């Protein structure tokens, strides 16, 4: 039976042992919980796709513990990627770079690029360091469903398919990392997150590079489907100044404190489902700071299936 494990020395060792034998584990990061596999173990990498019911052409993010591990996975790294790594890591930023020849194609879905992130979470870092190898880790939920932000969410979603779940408490940020494609002359944000476009622009300025305008996704980042992050309840989205009649259905107001709203978003959506709500009204945050990431996840969660 799968256990939720405290992330003390014993717990970390048990997690690393499980990874060494090709199992997948749940572990906390500052964004959401990840489903981790040792990148040197092909069986474990394949396991991720089986456990998540994820199509194999949806590439994985590799989580590293230091700059040396980053350098070993990447090739032809442009100054923009170096600058972002230096300024934003450890942190909720995923950087896409050219993949070195040694990067397993299971991770990249056959692409010549790889997504890499150095998380700001002591438990994730301890696991990677003790394993001595980076781990591939998508969010620890079934494909297309709401990401987990507690160990209990991981267990509820994936159950015995994971060897164990390290419990780091609720994730501080609550939405997935910002993804920036740094293989382009003008880097581009593929997925908004808590590191904002203003912060990224600021870093890129230092190396004289422009950020491509807008936030894209669907073309180069498979996995960024129209519907994603989806609860069972239907969400109806409202702008802040819109007047609507909720008629007894719950209202999720994300406009007042978007950072707090992000922190509790996925737990809230799960709670609405558990309570059996068919319909939830959502007040959107304005397009500023965390507002972009929240609007992105909410519009995907609201898309018709
Ligand atoms: O915060 C996060 O990023 C969390 C935690 C666990 O670190 N992870 C996460 O992973 O959100 P996942 O697999 O749920 O989302 C990864 C996204 C996918 O949309 C995938 O398409 C994109 O990253 N991605 C990965 N490699 C890529 C590549 N080489 N080019 C373009 N997109 C890529
Ligand atoms: Mg995911």
Q: Name the one residue in this structure whose structure tokens are 């999720």.
A: 252
Question: Per-residue pLDDT tens for 26-72?
Answer: 999 999 999 999 999 999 999 999 999 999 999 999 999 999 999 99
Is residue 150 lining ligand 1, measured as CB closer than 6 Å? no
Instruction: Determine the pLDDT at residue 210.
Output: 97
**Residue 221 in this model has a pLDDT that exceeds 70:** no
Report d(CA 30, CA 36) in Å as an integer.
15
Residues 175, 198 contacting (CB under 8 angstroms) = no
Residues 157, 148 contacting (CB under 8 angstroms) = yes
Residues 99, 199 contacting (CB under 8 angstroms) = no
Protein residues placing their CB within 5 Å of the ion ligand 2: 139
Instruction: Determine the pLDDT at residue 265.
Output: 98
Predicted confidence band of residue 214 (pLDDT cuts 50, 70, 90): confident
Is residue 59 lining ligand 1, measured as CB closer than 6 Å? yes
Report d(CA 239, CA 284) in Å as an integer.
5
Cis before 178? omega within 30 = no
Question: Per-residue pLDDT tens for 252-268?
Answer: 999 999 999 999 999 99
Q: What is the pTM of this model?
A: 0.96
Report d(CA 201, CA 295) in Å as an integer.
20
Question: Per-residue pLDDT tens for 200-209?
Answer: 999 999 999 9
In 10 A of CB 22, how many CB atoms?
A: 16
Please provide the DSSP assignment of 95-108 as one string. EEEEEPTTS-HHHH
Report d(CA 243, CA 187) in Å as an integer.
39
Is residue 224 lining ligand 1, measured as CB closer than 6 Å? yes
Which of 115, 166, 225 has most ligand 1 atoms within 8 Å of CB, for mutation?
Answer: 115
Which of 120, 223, 228 has most ligand 1 atoms within 8 Å of CB, for mutation?
Answer: 223
CA of 137, closest atom in ligand 1: 6
| 159 contacts: CB under 8 Å, gap ≥ 6 | 2
Instruction: Determine the pLDDT at residue 229.
Output: 76
Instruction: Determine the pLDDT at residue 248.
Output: 87
**For the residues 192-204, what does the mean pLDDT come to?**
97
Question: Per-residue pLDDT tens for 82-113?
Answer: 999 999 999 999 999 999 999 999 999 999 99
Instruction: Determine the pLDDT at residue 224.
Output: 56
């Amino acid at each position: 039976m799968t256990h939720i494990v405290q992330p003390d020395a014993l717990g970390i060792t048990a997690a690393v042992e499980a990874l060494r034998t090709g199992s997948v584990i749940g572990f906390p990061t500052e964004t959401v919980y990840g489903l981790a596999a040792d990148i040197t173990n092909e069986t474990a990498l394949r396991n991720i796709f089986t456990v998540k019911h994820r199509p194999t052409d949806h590439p994985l993010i590799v989580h590293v513990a230091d700059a040396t591990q980053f350098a070993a996975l990447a090739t032809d790294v442009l100054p923009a990627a170096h600058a972002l790594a230096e300024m934003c890591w450890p942190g909720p930023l995923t950087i896409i770079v050219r993949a070195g020849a040694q990067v397993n194609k299971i991770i990249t879905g056959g692409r010549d690029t790889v997504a890499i992130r150095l998380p700001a979470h002591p438990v994730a870092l301890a696991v990677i360091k003790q394993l001595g190898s980076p781990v591939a880790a998508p969010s620890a939920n079934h494909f297309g469903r709401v990401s987990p932000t507690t160990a209990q969410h991981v267990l509820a979603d994936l159950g015995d398919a994971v060897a164990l779940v390290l419990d780091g408490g609720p994730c501080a940020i609550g939405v997935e990392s910002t993804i920036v494609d740094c293989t382009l002359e003008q880097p581009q944000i593929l997925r908004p997150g808590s590191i904002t476009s203003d912060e990224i622009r600021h870093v890129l300025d230092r190396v004289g590079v422009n950020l491509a305008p807008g936030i894209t996704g669907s073309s180069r980042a498979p996995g960024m489907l129209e519907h994603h992050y989806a609860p069972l309840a239907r969400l109806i989205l409202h702008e802040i100044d819109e007047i609507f009649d909720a008629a007894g259905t719950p209202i999720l107001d994300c406009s007042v404190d978007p950072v707090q709203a992000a922190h509790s978003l996925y737990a809230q959506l799960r709670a609405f489902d558990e309570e059996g709500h068919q319909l939830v009204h959502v007040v959107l945050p304005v397009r500023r700071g965390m507002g972009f990431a929240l609007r992105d996840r909410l519009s995907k969660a609201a898309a018709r299936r």
